Amino acid sequence: MSEYFGHAVHGDDCAALAQASPNITRRTKRVCREHARLMRMGSVLRAGATLVTPALTAIRDADSTTHRRTADRRLAIALSQLSHRAADGYFKPVYRQLAPEYYDNDYAVAPADIRIMHDIALYHERRHMPLAEGDPKYDPLTFRHVVPLAADMDAAESRFVETAFGARVLQELLGLHQLFPPGADSESKLRAYIMALDPVYLDTARYADMAAQPYHNLVQRYIVDPNFYDPDDPYISLAVDIQNGARPDAKRFADARETPTGELSQWGVSLALGIDYYEAAQAYMDGDIGEPTFRERALS
């Protein structure tokens, strides 16, 4: 889907919606609350599906000797990766439909304008809400261009610092070795680590320019016409209210479930898919479905 910002918001929204789902256990809901920052890191980690099933299987098969904190951290990352997959699974086809010129030209400019516009739209929709207080995602400097660290540092040097910092973040993510249970297949772990080392290619100048003065034709094309985001969407409004301190309302969650897909915004549809994945993970951990069914529901 969009870049790191959008994935982080999606992960936060899915974790909030889990609090209202009757199909999510109290333990999983607690993990979503207590490990919010770790889940945010996991939601931007590009490791595909390689670590989800091993983590959930280890939790399902755990005995009394399993360290609870380790199991909780594994669960937090696995769930946040499901949010990442749900967002990608919905929005990547949308991007190919709405911005075919980007994909038809071998990704000549990365990221595509539509992905930047989605990040910026989410930022502006929520930055003045209580949920943004103390949240670094909504810092006023988020969508401003990098400030040189020294008076004699030119733009090229500043960009180098940005890239180096991004690489360091990814290295820290890869340090979370507790994601895999003891004895996990080395080839699977290596594949996940390589996938996670996706290059940081964001051009903050483009973000800053488009955030300061969005192109009206792009707003109409990518945000308004396809109904990217509607604050009254039942999934969005419930997720936002919970993050703003409201009680998780099972009735509102049920009403959202009953809303036809055609009446939802694009962001709402992606959240519905994310919570479907969460509930499939819960059913797998509880032994209600087997691995093939879980993969079909959440990883196919």
Residue predicted with more confidence, 23 or 178: 23
pLDDT at 184 over 60: yes
pLDDT number for residue 218: 86
Tell me which residue has tokens 């919970």: 242
State pLDDT tens for residues 58-95. Answer: 999 887 777 888 889 989 999 999 999 999 999 999 99
pLDDT at 177 over 60: no
pLDDT at 22 over 70: yes
pLDDT number for residue 68: 84
Which two structure tokens, joined as six digits, stand for 255? Answer: 């009403």
Domains of the chain, residue spans: 4-298
Which two structure tokens, joined as six digits, stand for 261? Answer: 């897909």
Cβ atoms within 10 Å, residue 247: 10
pLDDT at 134 over 70: yes
Cβ atoms within 10 Å, residue 235: 27
Which two structure tokens, joined as six digits, stand for 101? Answer: 């010129």
Quickly list H helices, the chain.
4-18, 26-34, 36-44, 52-60, 68-98, 100-104, 113-126, 155-174, 186-196, 204-212, 216-219, 234-243, 250-258, 266-285, 291-298
